[in-house]
Structure 1
């Protein structure tokens, strides 16, 4: 893949993910009531919109720590630097690897900008589930950035497993030769 095509694919996915995340957060801040919404009692699984402001990271980790906003922002900058390093490597010629990196970049930027500007990350999507197995619990509230981060990490795992399988196959060929 040539450098221009690689850059276009990366930027299109990263910036689209970022824009959808920021747009959805702005919508949530205006449209979603700031009260806890209980799921429909007849449903065994439901999705609700519940506006929440997370001062920590995933699962509110570090939310009670003084200075967590800046600690997490610095970690985010290092993560983006590492993503740039990975982008420059040969592996990023692989489409799955490149698309995974782009999704991770879009999600990381969305949450980082939120944290820098507002001091927290805006979350608003919440699942409730599995009443049928006597386990009615809410999953932690999250946002679009979190979704694209998970998609990106999933794609990176797929790439990793695929690369490992190809490496093992090459080693077997070398041993037989």
Structure 2
């Protein structure tokens, strides 16, 4: 082997070893290791990554999504056939979505009509009670005036005194 070939091989080997040593030094200083850390996301992600939102697996966000879906289901009072997760409703074709919306609107109209009927019934009941209270008040006032007349202390008995009626002294 020639002297220049030997020098070239040794310098290449020296550079290679220097690269390995410096790479190892950088890895030790930065804390990187040969094994992937649990925070490293997988290459192909099949589910959304909610880590860091609220808990290690994003339980808070997932819980909020479930609560929102439950609230929407309760609010719209959907039938069991319509209680599909929101992302499934989005996948429906146009006519299916339109039919679902029409059913929801009709349910809303029915609920409002029932609410209006109950409100009108309650209002009529309150008005009837007020009217009865007015009639009771008038009747009790009339009864009070009759008692006063019979005793001779009411306004009608005074006019009777002037004429010489039963309240005379």
Q: TM-score, normalised by structure 1?
A: 0.29
Higher strand share: 1
Q: Which has the higher contact order (CA 8 A, sep 6+)?
A: 1
Q: TM-score, normalised by structure 2?
A: 0.30
Higher helix share: 2
